[in-house]
């Protein structure tokens, strides 16, 4: 799952184009294996073990449909389809990511149950009311402005009794310097929110909060893991990305790891349900 951005700033474009343009290469797969332990095609802070826990909360099974918002290159969504038997629809603003996702779905024989399309999650999504059983958005809601409107649209799409699961990795839980904020938000639009903000918006949208859990430790560990895995391959990465992009991403991961480890910028997972 990727981090969708409402505007293609030059910095954001360079960051995501470098990642998605090289996603299926051996080099980037090696980095994911080193950083995450198990490569499920993720580009966020998600691990396979964490996703397994999330699946218990989403209550998915054969015959149900999951909408994965900011799906990136589709690896995590395809793993969900394989493990639960559900159908998945993935959306992302990045054309390269969607092309990779559809290619992977075909390669795994999941073309009929897994479909991916380019869509802008900052606008009303092009799906009918009450059309999906579950919605997930992993480490990307922070890139979408006007969260009350976004969550209201997601609530519209859920069937009665349907579940929403999202992670918010940009929750302010301590003091941050202007430099830390600048680096942490250097790859696009970021919405920094105070603790309890997401709970209030969930309630305003008519959804019932089932669970909120602090999952910051995962973000701290993965950020440091990605920085270290890239540092071991710095010569190859500099040739592909260029010095400026490589160094910018390394600083991003270093700052992300430090302020998460110190509990100053936290990541929470929320599970909510639409009334029957």
State the pLDDT at residue 19: 61
State the pLDDT at residue 23: 73
Residue 95 pLDDT exceeds 90: yes
Q: pLDDT class for 13, splitting at 50, 70, 90?
A: very low
State the pLDDT at residue 46: 96
State the pLDDT at residue 230: 97
With residues binned 3-state (H G I as helix, E B as strand, rest as coil), the percentages for the chain, rounded to 5, are 45, 20, 35
Q: Which of 65, 64, 25 is nearest to 41 (CA)?
A: 25
Rounded to whole angstroms, the Cα distance separating 263 from 259 reads 6
Q: Which helix (H) or strand (E) holds 185?
A: none
Rounded to whole angstroms, the Cα distance separating 274 from 276 reads 6
For all residues of the chain together, what is the average pLDDT? 92
Sign of CA dihedral 238, 241, 242, 244: negative
Stretch 268-272: mean pLDDT: 98
Residue 246 pLDDT exceeds 50: yes
The better pLDDT of the pair 78, 1 is held by: 78
Q: pLDDT class for 22, splitting at 50, 70, 90?
A: confident
State the pLDDT at residue 1: 42
Q: pLDDT class for 222, splitting at 50, 70, 90?
A: very high
State the pLDDT at residue 66: 98
State the pLDDT at residue 18: 56
Kindly state the percentage of the chain with pLDDT values over 70. 92
Structure-token pair, residue 119: 């869509």
State the pLDDT at residue 131: 97
Q: pLDDT class for 3, splitting at 50, 70, 90?
A: very low
Lowest mean pLDDT among 10-19, 196-205, 235-244: 10-19
Stretch 230-234: mean pLDDT: 97
The better pLDDT of the pair 124, 15 is held by: 124
State the pLDDT at residue 4: 37
Lowest mean pLDDT among 1-5, 59-63, 111-115, 253-257: 1-5
Residue 101 pLDDT exceeds 80: yes
- Enumerate the β-bridge partners of residue 226: none
């Amino acid at each position: 799952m990727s981090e969708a951005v409402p505007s293609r700033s030059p910095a954001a474009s360079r960051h995501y184009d470098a990642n998605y343009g090289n996603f299926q290469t051996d080099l980037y797969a090696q980095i994911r294996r080193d950083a995450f332990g198990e490569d499920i095609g993720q580009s966020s802070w998600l691990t396979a073990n964490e996703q397994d826990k999330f699946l218990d909360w989403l209550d998915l099974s054969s015959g149900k449909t999951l909408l994965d918002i900011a799906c990136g290159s589709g690896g995590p969504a395809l793993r969900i389809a394989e493990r639960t038997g559900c159908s998945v629809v993935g959306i992302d603003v990045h054309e390269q990511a969607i092309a990779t996702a559809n290619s992977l779905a075909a390669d795994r024989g999941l073309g009929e149950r897994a479909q991916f399309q380019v869509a802008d999650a900052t606008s009303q999504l092009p799906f009918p009311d009450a059309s999906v059983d579950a919605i997930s958005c992993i480490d990307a809601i922070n890139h979408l402005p006007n969260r009350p409107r976004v969550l209201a649209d997601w609530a519209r799409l859920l069937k009665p009794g349907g579940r929403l699961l999202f992670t918010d990795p940009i929750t302010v839980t301590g003091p941050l310097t202007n430099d830390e904020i600048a680096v942490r938000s250097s790859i696009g639009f970021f919405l920094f929110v105070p603790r309890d903000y997401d709970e209030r918006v969930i309630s305003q949208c008519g959804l019932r909060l089932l669970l909120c859990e602090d999952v910051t430790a995962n973000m701290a560990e993965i950020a440091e893991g990605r920085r270290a895995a890239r540092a071991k391959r710095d010569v190859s990465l500099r040739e592909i990305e260029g010095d400026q992009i490589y160094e910018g991403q390394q600083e991003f991961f270093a700052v992300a790891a430090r302020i998460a480890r110190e509990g100053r910028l936290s990541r929470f997972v929320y599970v909510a349900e639409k009334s029957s």
